[in-house]
Amino acid sequence: MKVQLVVRASVLSAFLVAGVATNAVAAASKTTGVSSAAPAAIMQSAYTHLVSGKPKMAIAEYSTAISLADISLANRARALLNRALAHQKLAAHDAAISDYSQAIELDALNAKTRAVALYNRGLAYSKSGRQSAAIEDYTNALYLDPYLSEAFYSRGVALREARQYEYALIDFARATKLNYPHKHLALYGKALTLAKLGHRDEATAV
């Protein structure tokens, strides 16, 4: 599930980390009692608010879950990641960066989820004009998940903004090869970059 963020006329997608399944909440209630199930129940409610377009309510509930003493390390990381995404929806990019950084530092994420966290933080850096930091995060995300086409596209955008046009072209090509879901944007990015290099005939032909 994705949330669309418009960054410098390019559609970039920040990924949503899966919420806590209802059956997981029920299982926690049976095995550990209502109080132990509270973090999972609150996170499920927060997740519902987030996917239904209520980021402020999601932030409030994720904050409550994060503050609980009995929340697991994995759920704390998940709550931080999705609270960060809610902040991004409100264009609170510094708050998002802080939450992503905390989640990454917890060292409770598998490789795929860590790649998503780095990619999402890269989007926040890019939106706030910190292209070098964004490029570093996209690169680290791709080290963990070399098939993350969104990271290639987003890094291409950041490289173009940083005037590293030749490298941007390589990333747009990689995104296209990996079947980036918004292929027309990758091609448009390629055309804009070629135009920046003065190759207007090639840009027109894309």
Query: Considering only CA atoms, which of 68, 82, 83, 84 is closest in space to residue 28?
Result: 68
Cα 13 from chain centroid? 7
Single pTM value for the model: 0.81
Flag whether pLDDT at 37 surpasses 80.
no
For residue 7, list its beta bridge partners.
10
pLDDT in tens, 117-157: 999 999 999 999 999 999 999 999 999 999 999 999 999 99
Q: Give percent of the chain with pLDDT exceeding 70.
A: 82
Compare 169 and 204 and report the one with higher pLDDT.
169
**Cα 35 to Cα 68: distance, rounded to the nearest angstrom:** 10
Looking at 27-41, 73-87, 121-135, which range is the least confident one?
A: 27-41
Distances (CA, A) of 76 to 36, 164, 191: 14, 37, 42
The DSSP call for residue 92 is -
The pLDDT of residue 17:
58
Least confident of 23-37, 61-75, 109-123, 154-168: 23-37
What's the CA gap between 85 and 101, in Å, rounded?
12
With contact defined as beta carbons under 8 Å apart, do 135 and 162 qualify? yes
- The helix or strand, by DSSP H or E, that contains position 5, with its residue range, turns out to be strand 2-7
Q: In this structure, which CATH number among 1.25.40, 3.40.50, 1.10.150, 3.40.1000 belongs to the domain 2-109?
A: 1.25.40
Closest C-alpha to 180, from 205, 154, 161: 154
Q: Is-contact 84 50, C-beta < 8 A?
A: no
CB atoms within 10 A of CB 151: 30
Spatial CB neighbours of 66, under 8 Å, sequence gap ≥ 6: 76, 79, 80, 83
